[in-house]
Chain A
Amino acid sequence: MHIVVCMKQVPRDNSVKINPDLSINADGIEKIINLFDEYAIEEGIIWNEKHGGKLTVLSMGADEWVEQMRRALAMGATDSLLLKDPAFATLDTIAAAKVVAAAIRKLGDVDLILTGRNSTDDESGAFAPALARILGWPQLTYVGKVIDVNPGSKTITAERHLETVVETVTAPLPAVVSVIKDINNPRYPSLLKIKKVAKVEPPVWTAADLGVSGLVPTVTVTQRVPPPPRPSGETIDGPDAATKVKKLVDKLLENQII
């Protein structure tokens, strides 16, 4: 079975700076695997260990992304593939999904695509649905548990962890699955593999290799302003704690919160 994990390199999000135009300035910030993708990689490894075959880590990005791809290889991915072209540099989510879909078609034998729920830099959350739509495959989003991947019946059964309900769903393979945090416990890259994977140069496919052209972003950012500040809360005053608690409880009852 061939599992592909789509992986993005992102700046460590708790330390990025904000440019004057409110865009992200990631200069000099440590690059890491997108948090959610790390869970996708671990899930891919789990099922690859069970069923064998290939686990390809696929990225559409710049040369420097290879560093994180090597980390995925040290975790346990068997193959890597970098989609790189000057034309890919400024794509929006839908265009990126078109490029990746072209690569998936070119690979030909893919049974399952795993992605993270969203990336921590762009936050669109639309990549997996777009990819599934373009490929015409079933999409399973917000997956918090993969119950079974069955190469015999060519199906996947998984739990979708929604806000108020956990849905168990089954879909035929090939399918696109986006996973949430804490679906598993991602392993550390094996240090014993470091020397080997540090030398790996992933194969590179360009726009020409993929036969994609005329890519233009359909969405352009025209302005960035901060959201309006949230109105400050109300402070409850009183001479002592008992009075303050009473006032607070009265208020909550009045507003039918309790």
Chain B
Amino acid sequence: MIEYEHSDEIKMLRQTVREFVNKEIRPIAREIDEEERVPLDVIKKAGELGLLAVPFPEKYGGLELGITGYCVLMEELQRGDASIATIIGAHTQLCAMSIHLGGNEAQKDKYLRGLNRGTLIGAWALTEPNAGSDAAHISTTAELHGDEWVINGQKMWITNGSFADVIVVHAVTDKSKGARGGITAFIVEKDFPGFNVGKIEDKMGLRASHTASLYFEDMRVPAANVLGGVGHGFPLAMKTLDIGRCGLGGGAVGGAKEAFELSRQYAITRHQFGRPIAEFQAIQFKLAEMAVKIYTMEQIVYDTARKVDAGKNATLESSIVKLYCSEMASEVIDEAIQIHGGMGFSRELPLERMYRDARVTRIFEGTNEIQKSVIASELLKQVGYRIHRHEGVYPTPKHAPHS
């Protein structure tokens, strides 16, 4: 394949993650999928090594290798196992990222440091049973009683929610203000009274990554744990997702590269009709098309990552990355299964797991339909046109909704 030219430090990061994946992740990937087991020991080891700290400042124990470094991390992790990449992704690019973006010194010292080292595991909770794409209309509430907030409501689909130590929870603090001004983010510890974990979803893929419902019954949160200021929760959530989207693209590149490598090897070793199947144009064209997709995915991921690292607004680019890479990874893995014939359908090879795991990347972190809305609205905004929204039963959020 074509090697992307990264800096020396990013190359070193890649090699170390690759070794970690070969030693610690590949040998267990099939088993944790079958057992639906979260490999917490591996996550802890990753934390000790620094893999949970890639994009954050050195001041809080981070590696300061940017979103570029983070994308390379996701790429290499996803070559080994998408469940583990997702556990680390929700922890890093959602939970720790929102504390990095919105937290004050004391909060970063208390939480970001531990999240970086893996002594704390993080989750990030926005989605609710009745608010998925339409995240601006969450109904979990928080009321101030003295110096504590009292939170009531339910979250759903929360990755790491069942075992996380720290959960960033979004709740409505002023219904009259809507999403802009009415939603606040809170740093919740799992031991806060009133915090309860509900059922763990039985999913098609990412089976070693647990996704849980969370219930808050008069859950008490100290006022000091308001993240990013009262009323600033929704823009903070959108910014967190915006920055993190590249990471999903990075992971997709990793999955696609793995599928390609397996296919290329298979094509030269599998014989039918007296020759390697690589001799058939049907197979050659598949390999060529896969490589074209991977090359373009990788280019847009790292071009966008570079912009994010330079502090530029890359909402449009990040949405394109999320949409394109999630679609392309699914296509590449599907073709890889085709090249493997019956073996591609077998659990003996990782491809069927990768196929199941890849499917959700078109759904979470903002469905691909929502990405198209964002892309279109950003494009029209460039020429001064603001999309007219149909008024629903409640005011439509100004910003395109996603979670």
State how many angstroms separate the Cβ of B173 from the closest Cβ of chain A.
Answer: 38
A195 at the interface (CB under 8 A from B): yes
Q: Give the docked Cα–Cα distance between A70 and B11 (Å).
A: 11
Q: Is the CB of A191 within 8 A of B49?
A: yes
B64 at the interface (CB under 8 A from A): yes
Contact string against B for A residues 179-210, beta-carbon threshold 8 Å, 1 for contact and 0 otherwise: 00000000011111011011100000000000
> Which one of B14-22, B238-246, B330-338, B390-398 is at the A interface?
B14-22
A13 at the interface (CB under 8 A from B): no
B208 at the interface (CB under 8 A from A): no
A121 at the interface (CB under 8 A from B): no
State how many angstroms separate the Cβ of B58 from the closest Cβ of chain A.
Answer: 8
Q: Is the CB of A194 within 8 A of B65?
A: yes
State how many angstroms separate the Cβ of B309 from the closest Cβ of chain A.
Answer: 14
A67 at the interface (CB under 8 A from B): yes
Q: Give the docked Cα–Cα distance between A241 and B248 (Å).
A: 54
CB proximity to A under 8 Å, residues B8-37: 8-9, 11-13, 15-16, 19-20
Q: Give the docked Cα–Cα distance between A30 and B16 (Å).
A: 13
State how many angstroms separate the Cβ of A229 from the closest Cβ of chain B.
Answer: 20
Q: Give the docked Cα–Cα distance between A191 and B64 (Å).
A: 10
Q: How many A-B contacts are there with CB distance less than 8 Å? A: 48
- A188 and B49 contact, Cβ closer than 8 Å, known pairs A194-B13, A194-B65, A195-B65: yes
| Range, interface on chain B | 20 to 34
Q: Is the CB of B50 within 8 A of A192?
A: yes
Residues of A within 8 A of B382 (CB): none
Residues of A within 8 A of B63 (CB): 191-192, 194-195
Which listed residue (A30, A32, A191) contacts B13, Cβ 8 A?
Answer: A191
Q: Is the CB of B49 within 8 A of A67?
A: no
Count of interface residues, chain A, beta-carbon cutoff 8 Å = 16
A71 at the interface (CB under 8 A from B): yes
Residues of B within 8 A of A197 (CB): 12
Q: Give the docked Cα–Cα distance between A83 and B15 (Å).
A: 24
B51 at the interface (CB under 8 A from A): yes
Q: Is the CB of A67 within 8 A of B8?
A: yes
Smallest Cβ-Cβ distance to A31: which chain B residue? B15
The secondary structure that dominates the B interface is helix
B7 at the interface (CB under 8 A from A): yes
Q: Is the CB of B12 within 8 A of A188?
A: no
A156 at the interface (CB under 8 A from B): no
Smallest Cβ-Cβ distance to A70: which chain B residue? B12
A74 at the interface (CB under 8 A from B): yes
- A198 and B19 contact, Cβ closer than 8 Å, known pairs A188-B49, A191-B50, A191-B63: no
Q: Is the CB of A188 within 8 A of B65?
A: no
Q: Is the CB of A74 within 8 A of B12?
A: yes
- A198 and B49 contact, Cβ closer than 8 Å, known pairs A71-B15, A189-B16: no
Q: Is the CB of B9 within 8 A of A198?
A: yes
Residues of A within 8 A of B7 (CB): 198
Residues of B within 8 A of A71 (CB): 12, 15-16
Residues of A within 8 A of B64 (CB): 195
State how many angstroms separate the Cβ of A15 from the closest Cβ of chain B.
Answer: 10
Q: Is the CB of B19 within 8 A of A194?
A: no
Residues of A within 8 A of B8 (CB): 67, 70, 198-199
Smallest Cβ-Cβ distance to B15: which chain A residue? A71
**Which of A74, A192, A199 has most chain B Cβ within 10 Å?**
A192
Smallest Cβ-Cβ distance to B14: which chain A residue? A30
- A194 and B9 contact, Cβ closer than 8 Å, known pairs A188-B16, A188-B19: yes
Residues of A within 8 A of B9 (CB): 194-195, 198
- A189 and B20 contact, Cβ closer than 8 Å, known pairs A194-B63, A195-B65, A198-B7: no
**Which of B9, B19, B49 has most chain A Cβ within 10 Å?**
B9
Residues of B within 8 A of A67 (CB): 8, 11-12
Q: Give the docked Cα–Cα distance between A192 and B13 (Å).
A: 10
Residues of A within 8 A of B50 (CB): 190-192
Q: Is the CB of A188 within 8 A of B11?
A: no
Residues of B within 8 A of A32 (CB): 15
Smallest Cβ-Cβ distance to A191: which chain B residue? B50
Smallest Cβ-Cβ distance to A32: which chain B residue? B15
State how many angstroms separate the Cβ of B127 from the closest Cβ of chain A.
Answer: 32
State how many angstroms separate the Cβ of A32 from the closest Cβ of chain B.
Answer: 8
Smallest Cβ-Cβ distance to B23: which chain A residue? A188
CB proximity to A under 8 Å, residues B41-91: 49-51, 53-54, 58, 61, 63-65
Q: Give the docked Cα–Cα distance between A199 and B49 (Å).
A: 20
Q: Is the CB of A194 within 8 A of B20?
A: no
Besides A194-B63, A198-B8, 17 new A-B residue pairs in contact (Cβ under 8 A), listed by A number: A32-B15, A67-B8, A67-B11, A71-B16, A74-B12, A74-B16, A189-B12, A190-B50, A191-B49, A191-B51, A194-B12, A194-B13, A195-B9, A197-B12, A198-B9, A198-B12, A199-B8
- Can you report 8 A-B residue pairs in the complex whose CB atoms are below 8 A from each other? A32-B15, A71-B15, A190-B50, A191-B13, A192-B50, A194-B65, A197-B12, A199-B8
Chain A residues with CB under 8 Å of chain B are: 30, 32, 67, 70-71, 74, 188-192, 194-195, 197-199
